[in-house]
Amino acid sequence: MIKISPSPKLLLLPAVILLLGLLALFLISLGNFLKIFLLLFLLVYLLFQAFSLMQLNPRCLVGFTFPQEGKKLWQLYLKTGRAPQANLLGSTRISANVIILHFKVEQSTMRIYQIILPEMIGKQNFHNLLVYLKIT
């Protein structure tokens, strides 16, 4: 099993969005009520993103194993302790520094997205995953 650990780098993006949002709210001319409403909306959204990115969500993915030879189902491990099998969808994105996995859990409508950076699973595991995804 490849364990996924949270990355502080992923929290940088919501923090930058928050700062840019605050700057935009103070620079545009809107009514105070609308500014407060937009600020609260932005804060709730970013807290939810931070909650998900730091693996505090109970449905979050904490590990996975590659499919067995001749099979297409990945074994996922969720924070809740569930270990569903899932198909890797075509909307998965691969680059040299970031992999975005998109799974659909077998016999369910649940979809799981996972952003993976090299430091989250180790450089060797990241390389192995990258090669595996490129050849499949």
- Closest among 72, 47, 46, 55 to 115, alpha carbons compared: 55
| Below-50 pLDDT ranges, the chain | none
What are the structural domain ranges in the chain? 2-53, 61-135
pLDDT in tens, 92-122: 999 999 999 999 999 889 898 888 999 999 9
Cα pseudo-dihedral 82, 117, 110, 132, rounded to 10: -90
d(CA 67, CA 22): 44
